[in-house]
Structures are given as C-alpha cells and as structure tokens.
Amino acid sequence: MTCERLLAMAGVPNNSETTQYPDLVIVGAGLFGLTVAQQAVEHTGARVHIIDVRDHIGGNAYSYIDEETGAEIHKYGAHLFHTSNKRVWDYVNRFTSFTNYVHRVYATHDGEVYPLPINLGTINQFFHAHYTPAEAQKLIAEQAGELAGTDPQNLNDKGIQLIGRPLYEAFIKNYTGKQWQTDPSELPAAIIKRLPVRFNYDNRYFKDTWEGLPADGYTKWMERMIDDPRITVELGVDFFDESQPYNKTALKAAGVPVVYTGPVDRYFDYELGDLKWRTVDFKEVRYDEGDHFGCPVMNFSDADVPYTRAIEFKNFNPERHDSQNPDRTVVWEEYSRFAERGDEPYYPVNTDADKALYAQYEAKAKAEPNTVFGGRLGTYKYYDMHNVIDTALTAYEERVAPLLAK
C-alpha cells in the first residue's frame, strides 16, 4: 500500500450540517482497530474511517527499517508473535507469512550469561552441578525454606516460595525492582502469579503452538489488513480536537458508530481520576560490529545495571543477513518507570485501587451509545498481540456488527 493510498481521504466531512460521515469511525490504528475495520468491510461492505493521533499505523506493533544497519526496529519495544489460538493464527496468515523465529532469552548475572526461563541448564550452570530433573526439583523445594507451602502476599516472598531464594535473588529480585522502581517486598504477589521453572533443558520462551515474526515486517502486514478502498486512514488526528470533523462531540451528535481504542480515562476527561500505567524509555547504542550480544534480547538481572534489558534488532531476522550491514549493529537499552500524562502507556499497574477505578470507567463505557471500547488502552488490560486480535474479532461479531445493522 502506498503512502498516498494510506492517507487518501474519500469525502472528508466538514463541520457543516450536510456532513456525510462514514458508516464507522475507528479511533486508533493499532491491531484492534485494524482488525475491526477489516472485518466490517469484509462482512458488511461498510465505509470505515480510521483516525490516529500518531503519524503511523500499527499502534505499538509498528516497525521500520533502520537505514544504517538494515535492522527492522520495533519502535515501541520487542514485539514477538505467538499464539495457540487457531482462529487467530488462521486470520493473521491471511495477511502475512511468518518466519521460523523461536524466542529465546538470556540473562547476564554477575558477569555470566544464563538461559531463561529458568530451566535445568540454568540450574546446573548456576550451582556448577549436574542435577537430574528429580534432584533439581528437590533442591528448589528445599531452598524455599520456611515459605514452602505458604501463600505469600508480597512478590519477594512469593518468588522465593516458587523458585527458592538463590535463583530468585539472582534472576528475579533486582530485575523486578528495576521494572517497578519498587522493592519487591512492597509489591503484591499477584504480579508474578507464577514463575516458570523447567526441569529439562528447554529454553524456548513461549510454549504456544505457533510462533514467528512477520516475514516482511509488522507494518507491511498491517497495511495489507486495510488495503481496501472502503477503508480510509487519517494520521495525526486527535479525537478530542473539536476543530477537526472526526471528534468525539460531533460523532456523538451525529450518532455515528465509533470504536474507541484510546485510554478509557482520557475518553471521560479523567473525571474519576487517572488510571496508572508503567512506561518504557529506550536508549539507542550503535556498535562498530556486526553482532554485539549474539541474541535478540539480553536481560540484565543485577541492580548495578540501570536498564532491565537490551534488544539487538538484527538478531530477530537472521534470514535477512544479506540485506543487513555486517559492520554495524544497533541496540536499544530499556528503562522502566511510572508513566505520566503524555507518556506512552505500556503496562497497567493494576493495584486494587486501579481495578476499582477501572470498574467505574467500564460502567460508564458500557453506557456510551454507539461506542465500543477495545484494545489495551480502552479496556485497561495488558494484551499480547494475539489477545488483541482475538478480542477484536469477538468485539466485531458481538458489538460492532449489530451497530452497523441498525
């Protein structure tokens, strides 16, 4: 899809009483909005207009090619597609093929590199041992100490209970402290829920049926989803700016169906308070070498390294070796902090107070006429990409299609 096609406007309305709006307006060009748009056009022939305040489609999955290195940069951090949902897998394969990439993570601790998630290889390397699976299980149960069999309420004690004190303190405690800028003893246990420990040498990060990266990139995949003349896209447009025609007030007055994927608290002008999020900052480092880490993602588990992990984008796509610069590589170091208004929200904090506040916003959202709230921001949930697509397909069937049938 060309940029001209992407930005084409068909019958852009003005603010006059004769404005002719499309059948559906979607606020946000991320995976949720694009999926709903594609489904609406395919099943009803609706005219759909998508607006986004950013200057690109794809939401946080947007990627671009770095000219110097040839690496595909994931602008909002590493995005790795994986799913066990056949409906989702069949759907995405309509628009892209996938590489055979399998995600594996490594962690640097005390000057040594270990495989993650914690597995028999990690355990034997850490303890300089050759435990069998049964021996390793017994060891970790012993290392939980007095916390074994209890139900800890803070993350620190929960981590010790799940994987024993030595492994927890080496790989989880400081990493989590950096992620949350909070001592793990002051964090709720629910944040980790469980810590996977594998008593074999399997270091595949995900356990889903299907996994891979889009063969020619995330942005190409998403352009194909909306490559239909009945779908128009306008970027750099603020839904709350009443000087442009696709604004909240005008669309409500006209009774136009809207799919809203922005922050739910922003939709209601924060009238009940702000929902809390974590955000991520990136520091770019370039090296005069073809490969710096030898892997796509390196965690840094120790407190004396200020960032949580580093992403070397070239290593996500070794199949593109011939189009990449053999003498230069680019790495992004990732720093986590609490988000302020105006930051990119990544992870909902989800304290009990946040959950209670969201419940109030959710009730207000359900009462909004002709409006469907969706996506990570619109529902205050952390979703992987396959979850976003699955919820979008369901939302189209159960909520958007009935609006278009009126």
Pair of tokens at residue 70: 């040839």
Rg of the Cα trace of the chain? 23
Give kind and range of the element (H or E) at residue 338.
strand 329-338
Residues marked as catalytic: 194, 198, 278, 309, 334, 382, 384
Which residues contact residue 249 at a Cβ distance below 8 angstroms, ignoring those fewer than 6 apart?
242
Conformation bin of residue 290: beta by default, left when phi > 0, alpha when psi is -120 to 50 = alpha
Distance between CA atoms of residues 26 and 236, nearest Å: 14
Are 66 and 324 in contact, with CB atoms under 8 Å apart? no
Please tell me whether residue 174 adopts helix, strand or coil conformation: helix
The structure tokens 């999020």 sit at 277
How wide is the angle at C-alpha 353 spanned by C-alphas 351 and 358, nearest 5°? Answer: 95
Distance between CA atoms of residues 100 and 25, nearest Å: 36
Alpha carbons within 13 angstroms on the beta-carbon side of residue 317 total 25
Are 335 and 308 in contact, with CB atoms under 8 Å apart? yes
Which residues contact residue 36 at a Cβ distance below 8 angstroms, ignoring those fewer than 6 apart?
24, 26, 259, 372, 374, 392, 395, 396, 400
Amino acid at the residue 79: H
How deeply is 209 buried, as exposed, middle or buried, from its count of CB atoms within 10 A (0-12, 13-18, 19+)? exposed
Amino acid at the residue 96: T
